[in-house]
Amino acid sequence: MKPLDRIIDAARKAPRHVVLPEGEDPRIVAGAVQARREGLAAITLVGNREVITQRLTALDAIPQEFRIEDPACSPLTDDFATAYLERRRSKGVDAAAARAAVLSPLTFAAMMVREGIADGTVGGAVATTADTIRAALQVIGRAPGVGLVSSFFLMMLCEPHHARK
């Protein structure tokens, strides 16, 4: 069994709720549709509802099978802004800055995780790695006892067309 197959099998056995903050990107929508069809996760797409719905429909997906959150008009935004303000006030964040922060899809997605609405968030296809990690650190924070945070890329070179070395 290939390493990626083991990861997919584990996801199928215990599907989670994943928030995709770059929900308007066609690649992200296509991945969300595939993940949903394969039973890997419940998906929330963050972004403009109309754009996301059009992209889902173009892929013959049923938009109602996905949660779509637009920070600009979500009923969660005000509560998220209040929670973000409390978390970041000591860093000089005021109410206006807190509201502006949660309007960012990366921060909004991280707030969904922090507030227990979702199990995780995956980003970085559109946003930079630095922006993606910054939002997660500012909102979710590090696990207790963790002093160093990093990221990684997983490259699977197990297909027949990959050169053997």
CATH for 41? 3.40.50.10950
Q: Which DSSP symbol is given to 158?
A: -
Is residue 157 assigned to a domain?
A: no
Gap between the Cα atoms of 62 and 78, Å rounded: 28
Q: What is the pTM of this model?
A: 0.90
Predicted pLDDT at 59: 98
pLDDT, tens digit (0-9, with 9 covering 90-100), for 25-47: 999 999 999 999 999 999 999 99
Domains: count for the chain: 1
In a domain, 152, yes or no: no
> Could you give phi then psi for residue 42, rounded to 5 degrees?
-80, 140
Going from the C-alpha of 150 to that of each of 68, 107, 134, 155, the distances in angstroms are 29, 18, 11, 17
Share the mean pLDDT of the chain: 94
Round the CA-based radius of gyration of the chain to a whole number and report it.
17
For residue 71, give its domain range.
Answer: 3-139
- Looking at residue 1, its pLDDT comes to 67
Residue at 161 is within a domain: no
Is 154 a domain residue? no
The confidence band for 165, taking pLDDT boundaries of 50, 70 and 90, is low
89 occurs within a structural domain: yes
pLDDT digits (tens, 9 = 90+) for 68-107: 999 999 999 999 999 999 999 999 999 999 999 999 999 9
In a domain, 87, yes or no: yes
Please indicate, yes or no, if residue 133 is contained in any of the structural domains. yes
Q: Where do the H-state alpha helices sit in 2-60? A: 3-13, 26-37, 49-58
Res. 51 pLDDT band, cuts 50 70 90: very high
- Answer yes or no: is 163 within a domain: no
